[in-house]
Structure 1
Amino acid sequence: MVLGFYRRVVCAFRISAIIGASLLAGPLASEVKYQVLSFDELEGWAEDDHAAALETFLNTCKDMKDPDWGAVCSYAQSGPDPREFFELLFRPVVMDDGKEALFTGYFEPELDGSLTRTDRYRFPVYKMPKEAKTNRPWLPRREILESGVMDGRGLVIAYVDDPVELFFLQIQGSGRIRLPNGQAVRVGYRGSNGHNYRSIGQELVRQGIYQPHQVSAQVIKNWVRRNPVDGKELLYHNPSYVFFREVSKVPAHKGPLGAMNRSITTMRTVAVDPSFVRLGSPVWIEKDGKKPLRRLMIAQDTGSAIKGAQRADVFFGTGDEAGRAAGTLRDPGRLIVLMPIQRAYALLPESAI
């Protein structure tokens, strides 16, 4: 029965190739070197909770429309042994684009806010204006906030009390805004103004204010609050600006919506660069540093600062504790993508097969 299913997966892959579906993740694939590994080469593989990874995979795999992925997802829904499922139908693939691996963390912030502007709540969380969708790039951060172009257009979702937390909400891409009546508004990423992200942490290092090892999200927040004038200019150093949409229909016990428009899972979802990694793919994480992490996650999200084949952002959950953990993460390691077998071997040159 399992062998018969495997043959159907291979057939589905061949159909996908015939109808022109891309074997690779995106336009940069030709610049990448690939290496197919065995599962024995994945450090800590046998000790992971494969059932938790399979549950997270099932949350988004039905949205992967290629025939081979559809066949894999169909089998995943039949209740297979989790570890055997991944080992039978996938092969681990290392992608090398010439850049060093970097793992960071992200979380869902919780901000204090109001649906109306007050003396305390005066920093707007904006929807995306129509011209920002078509004019690329659109206005940089400074002009969006200082030119008055957003005023009086019904583009405000809510007002918050801290511009620094709002800046980091844009970096995270989603969050909750707690209202004075105890209710909450959940917002998710809608789009950006098209400008490339520029790191304000690196700018603090360039100015000689901190050394690289000293910089974290909390350090940046504290410095901006202590230096409101220079802090405002520091935030303007990043011309990228993120717009939001309201997603409050997502149940409170579930995670925020990721790039696949499904709730993401704490410590099982990872954000990747979709130019290299197909969203929905299982990804094996070998993160080094002070707290090594060896875990099977699912690529269900992305972000403006996540660029490269070996770049990944681990989702730590919601709230201040998750934020503190995510904010200190900046470690090397290795990212390995699990691909359906035929898709994995199709990436190799003939001489390597």
Structure 2
Amino acid sequence: MLSSFSLGAEAARRHHRSHHHHARQLPAAPPRALPYPQLSLPFEIPGAQYLPLAWADVKGWDDDNHLAAYKTFRASCRPVNAQNGAAEPKVFEPKAFEPKAFEPKALGTSLSEPCRAAKTLDLADDAKAKTFFEENFTPLRISRLGEPDGFVTGYYEPVLEGSRTQTDVYNVPVYRRPSNLFVRGYKQDSLSLPNKGPVYRKIGRRKLVPYYDRGEIEDGKIAGRGLEIAWLKDPTDLLFAQIQGSARIKFEDGSSVRLNYDAYNGYPYTAVGRILIERGIIPKEEMSMQKIREWMAQNPDGAKELRRANRAYIFFREVNLSDKDEAVGAQGIPLTAGRSIAVDKSLHVYGTPFFIEGELPIESERAKTPFHRLMIAQDTGSAIIGPARADLFFGAGQEAGRVSGRLRHPMRFVMLVPKSLDPGPRAAKLPIPDPRPSEKIAKLFPQTDPAKTGTPVAAAAQGKNETVAIAGPVPLPVPRPAIDPAAEPRRPVKNRPHRQQ
């Protein structure tokens, strides 16, 4: 019976659709407008804690060279203006109930406003540069959730000796990106690949397997394919060039080549210094890149095993830069020694200013040099993770390498947030709450006078001349009567003859 009813209902629906599909559709009701303005999402950085400050509370702010920081910031504004357009942004009126697009990074496109202002301001005065930052930004102390400070390291551009061809002396290859390296969602010849996530080796047209790790590549898995850009003397030189993400290689004929990070093989970076600390080989307080180099030079077999413990491998590309130019960061512009930093690009926008303050061993390994400087986010790295984590760029050469190699220190971070995201002006846009009801309306809904009741709450409120609402007793529901289930009538059973097989 049930199945026949279902089939009949389905037949009726088909009949209705076949005879009434030309019926005029009623117009949809217009969306109901919200009674309050649509405000942008609040400023938020995942896993971070932050505190708004006054400029007077930013320690060391008045002592910095703001003009040098302004020039570095203005360089970052060129790609920002090119991306967002130098013209005034168009006003977009969202439809009712239509959610606004969410920008996963904290600042979103808010840097476009101070960058448009900087485009026409070719400042040459430190005081005016300081005023520019104070008028366009709000200082915000930031750190990882539950931690008081951030953390900084240093990096530089190594200058290495090399050869265009393999010789007995130069036999460590520097590879460019292989053609069979594949990242999901990207073309194989894409100019920019992510520095996080899985990377595959494409076999045939469809099969994907994890790419070779450092040990396999050092054993020659991609040798002989014409991927060699140059050849170095020492595998330790290559390791540190890969850690820094860039290098200058000088050849015997006086020419040179500039290399920048292009891609990696998909394995997470493992800090070789941490391994030496965990094994008790180098004390934590003495750890530096120079100490790692010295140990590797004295222990070639151990150095090979230590390198392979870091399965990550970096591929380079040649860049057209002169020896006078600094290395190019991930933002696509030359870095500025002492002003550029690498940050977590999943949280921060390139071009964001950070004021970093504390003490660093710059003059010597044990020195505590006061450091309070406005830095600009222009680069990134796979080991730079967190809201208050930065890698300070110190330039090129051995001296820059010595200074940057001994930096592993907690520092205080102050993030400069554009005024368009300042909580103060945003709060002014919030709607004013409705006024309290008038006396005439209040008389229609009188409150219970506790002074006339004998409850303990009323007695306590009577002495304070307060009015509270007392709920009366709520009657319990009447229980349902118990009803015995009626016995089902027995159906007569007909005797049917069994079929003979």
> Given the superposition, is the C-alpha separation of residues 46 and 243 from structure 1 closer, same or farther in structure 2, using an over 3 Å criterion?
same
Query: Aligned partners of 1:30 and 1:316: how far apart in 2?
Result: 29
Equivalent residue, structure 2, for 1:145: 218
Equivalent residue, structure 2, for 1:313: 391
Equivalent residue, structure 2, for 1:39: 55
- After superposition, residues 107-126 of structure 1 pair within 5 angstroms as 107-126=156-175
Whether the aligned pair in 1 keeps the contact of 2:47 and 2:387 (CA below 8 Å) is no
Query: Aligned partners of 1:252 and 1:343: how far apart in 2?
Result: 40
Equivalent residue, structure 1, for 2:378: 300
Equivalent residue, structure 1, for 2:406: 328
1:338 aligns with 2:416: yes
Equivalent residue, structure 1, for 2:337: 266
1:103 aligns with 2:181: no
> Given the superposition, is the C-alpha separation of residues 160 and 267 from structure 1 closer, same or farther in structure 2, using an over 3 Å criterion?
same
| Matching residue's letter, 1:260 | Q
Q: Please, which runs of 5 or more residues in structure 2 have no aligned partner?
A: 1-38, 90-109, 185-197, 200-210, 361-367, 429-501
Question: 1:96: how far off?
Answer: 2.8
Query: Aligned partners of 2:397 and 2:47: how far apart in 1?
Result: 39
- After superposition, residues 51-70 of structure 1 pair within 5 angstroms as 51-64=67-80, 65-66=83-84, 68-70=110-112
Aligned match of 2:234 in 134, 147, 162?
Answer: 162
Question: 1:309: how far off?
Answer: 1.1
| Matching residue's letter, 2:166 | R
| Matching residue's letter, 2:119 | Q
Question: 1:349: how far off?
Answer: 10
Higher RCO structure, 1 or 2 (CA under 8 Å, sep 6+): 1
Aligned match of 1:226 in 298, 315, 337?
Answer: 298
Alpha-carbon RMSD: 2.3
Paired residue secondary structure (2:222): coil
1:75 aligns with 2:147: no
Query: Aligned partners of 1:58 and 1:133: how far apart in 2?
Result: 35
Whether the aligned pair in 1 keeps the contact of 2:143 and 2:413 (CA below 8 Å) is no
> Given the superposition, is the C-alpha separation of residues 121 and 188 from structure 1 closer, same or farther in structure 2, using an over 3 Å criterion?
same
How big is each residue's C-alpha offset from its partner over 1:163-188, in whole Å with a ceiling of 9 and x where there is no partner? 11110000100110001101110000
> Given the superposition, is the C-alpha separation of residues 268 and 302 from structure 1 closer, same or farther in structure 2, using an over 3 Å criterion?
same
How big is each residue's C-alpha offset from its partner over 1:96-131, in whole Å with a ceiling of 9 and x where there is no partner? 333552111111100110111111111111111233
Query: Aligned partners of 1:191 and 1:243: how far apart in 2?
Result: 5
Question: 1:78: how far off?
Answer: 2.1
Question: 1:161: how far off?
Answer: 0.8
TM-score, normalised by the number of residues in structure 1? 0.86
1:181 aligns with 2:223: no
Whether the aligned pair in 2 keeps the contact of 1:103 and 1:330 (CA below 8 Å) is yes
Q: Please, which runs of 5 or more residues in structure 1 have no aligned partner?
A: 1-16
1:192 aligns with 2:264: yes
How big is each residue's C-alpha offset from its partner over 1:293-346, in whole Å with a ceiling of 9 and x where there is no partner? 100111101112111111111111110011111111111111222121122439
Query: Aligned partners of 1:38 and 1:132: how far apart in 2?
Result: 49
Equivalent residue, structure 2, for 1:4: none
TM-score, normalised by the number of residues in structure 2? 0.62
Whether the aligned pair in 2 keeps the contact of 1:103 and 1:287 (CA below 8 Å) is no
How big is each residue's C-alpha offset from its partner over 1:265-288, in whole Å with a ceiling of 9 and x where there is no partner? 010111111122211111111132
Whether the aligned pair in 2 keeps the contact of 1:36 and 1:345 (CA below 8 Å) is no
Question: 1:210: how far off?
Answer: 1.6
| Matching residue's letter, 2:154 | G
Aligned match of 1:87 in 114, 126, 134?
Answer: 134
Paired residue secondary structure (1:121): coil
| Matching residue's letter, 1:177 | I
Higher Cα radius of gyration: 2
- Normalized per residue, the structure richer in helix is 1
Equivalent residue, structure 2, for 1:201: 273
Deviates more, 1:261-270 or 1:152-161: 152-161
Equivalent residue, structure 2, for 1:279: 350
How big is each residue's C-alpha offset from its partner over 1:220-246, in whole Å with a ceiling of 9 and x where there is no partner? 011111110111101111111111110
| Matching residue's letter, 1:112 | E
